């Protein structure tokens, strides 16, 4: 049996009729073989969806996809979600180009901190699909964390403490960093004060709404698998509902929950590091079961609700 050494997660492949699944690590992740994502039917997709929720992140190598194929694949998972940062591709507003040219210099690498995508929204996306099109010969690794496994690491006492709590997700920290470079390296400033560009990426942000953010349960139960997972991370988690500034400054309970818990999430025991191949690859991952630390190659990010 290929169980996680702690016995708290089982990343073994299930038997399927239409796809072949090769697990990538004991903590999470799998490569799916024998699939043309541009020619799916319902039976094949049902197995892919099952594999995604089982392994949290799945790869498909050597895929040739048009924008329309990406859109069709995404809509099989559900409605398009909202991308809070970018404005989409002309004619394809739900496909976001993430471009980093070789000679572009930026003050920070967009998306390089541990995060889940746009959790400051009232309805954050639940899945992201990344399609690598033009990939550098080295670098750009992505690290994913299995937040179901991280939750399973917790004691029953800590699970009981977390159960009623909601985390405040806000982009205040990200906004302040972006605005700290108003004239440098392509990070221009919009008239209303919101950043409009990061390197080669055009930004279209609602700064006030992103800073205001949203409150979400720290412990999430996946609607299909029933698995519980942690929904707290290091980029946007900024406090705990009901814990006052006094607690923040004196007791630091909120800081503990928002910043210490991710240390469990991001330990090597709960993560998988993926190296992007030089051929086109599509990676899909459940945002309810993972946070990622992406140093992304050129690719399109494509979230759904």
Would you tell me how many other CB atoms lie within 10 Å of the CB of residue 263? 10
Cβ distance to Fe ion smaller for residue 143 or 247: 143
154 or 287: CB nearest Fe ion: 287
Stretch in the footprint of Fe ion (CB under 5 A) among 3-11, 13-21, 91-99, 115-123: 115-123
Give the C-alpha distances (Å, rounded to integers) separating 137 from 58, 140, 278, 298: 21, 9, 6, 12
- Total site size for Fe ion, rule CB under 5 A: 2
Question: Which run of H or E residues covers position 299?
Answer: strand 298-304
Cα 172 to chain center, whole Å?
Answer: 18
The answer to whether 146 touches 220, Cβ cutoff 8 Å, is: no
DSSP letter (8 states) at residue 29: -
Q: How far apart are the C-alpha atoms of 295 and 83, rounded to whole Å?
A: 18
| Closest CB 117 distance from Fe ion, rounded Å | 4
- Cβ within 8 Å of residue 215, ≥6 positions away: 166, 167, 168, 169, 241
Q: Does 94 bind Fe ion (CB under 5 A)?
A: no
Minimum gap (Å) between residue 77 Cβ and Fe ion: 16
Q: Which stretch binds Fe ion (CB under 5 A): 22-30, 84-92, 111-119, 143-151?
A: 111-119
Contact status, residue 4 vs residue 150, Cβ threshold 8 Å: no
Residue from 31, 83, 94, 117 touching Fe ion (CB under 5 A): that is: 117
Q: Which is nearer to Fe ion, 111 or 213 (CB)?
A: 111
Maximal C-alpha separation, the chain: 59
Q: Which residue is associated with the tokens 């006094």?
A: 246
Nearest residue (CB) to Fe ion, 111 versus 274? 111
Q: Which of 47, 301 has the CB closer to Fe ion?
A: 301
DSSP secondary structure letter of residue 213: -
CB of 115 to Fe ion, least distance (A): 6
Cβ 81 to Fe ion shortest distance, Å: 12
Q: Which is nearer to Fe ion, 152 or 235 (CB)?
A: 235
Which stretch in 37-45, 104-112, 140-148, 248-256 sits in contact with Fe ion by CB under 5 A? 104-112
- Shortest Cβ contact with Fe ion: which residue? 117
37 close to 65: Cβ distance less than 8 angstroms: yes
Compare residues 111 and 269 and give the one whose CB is closer to Fe ion.
Answer: 111
Q: How far is the CB of 111 from Fe ion (least distance, A)?
A: 5
Q: Give the footprint of Fe ion on this chain (CB under 5 A).
A: 111, 117
């Amino acid at each position: 049996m290929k169980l996680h050494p702690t016995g708290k997660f089982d990343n073994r492949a299930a038997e399927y009729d239409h796809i072949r699944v090769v697990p990538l690590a004991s903590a999470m992740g799998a490569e799916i073989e024998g699939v043309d994502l541009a020619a799916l039917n319902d039976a094949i997709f049902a197995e892919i969806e099952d594999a995604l929720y089982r392994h949290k992140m799945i790869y498909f190598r050597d895929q040739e996809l048009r924008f329309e194929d990406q859109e069709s694949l995404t809509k099989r998972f559900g409605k398009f979600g909202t991308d809070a940062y970018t404005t989409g591709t002309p004619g394809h507003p739900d496909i976001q180009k993430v471009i980093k040219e070789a000679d572009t210099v930026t003050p920070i690498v967009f998306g390089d901190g541990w995060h889940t995508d746009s959790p400051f929204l009232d309805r954050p996306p639940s899945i992201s699909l990344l399609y690598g099109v033009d990939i550098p010969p080295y670098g750009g690794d992505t690290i994913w964390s299995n937040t179901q496994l991280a939750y399973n690491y917790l004691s029953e006492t800590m699970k009981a403490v977390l159960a009623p709590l909601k985390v405040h997700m806000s982009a205040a920290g990200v906004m302040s960093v972006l605005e700290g470079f108003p004239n440098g390296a392509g990070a221009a400033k919009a008239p209303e004060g919101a950043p409009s560009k990061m390197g080669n990426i055009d930004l279209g942000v609602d700064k006030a709404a992103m800073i205001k953010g949203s409150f979400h349960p720290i412990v999430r139960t996946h609607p299909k698998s029933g698995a519980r997972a942690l929904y707290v991370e290091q980029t946007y988690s900024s406090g705990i509902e009901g814990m006052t500034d006094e607690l923040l400054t004196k007791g630091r309970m909120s800081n503990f929950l928002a910043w210490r818990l991710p240390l469990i999430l991001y330990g090597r025991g709960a993560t998988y590091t993926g190296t992007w191949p030089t051929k086109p690859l599509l990676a899909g991952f459940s945002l309810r079961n993972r946070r990622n630390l992406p140093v992304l190659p050129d690719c399109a990010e494509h979230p759904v609700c």
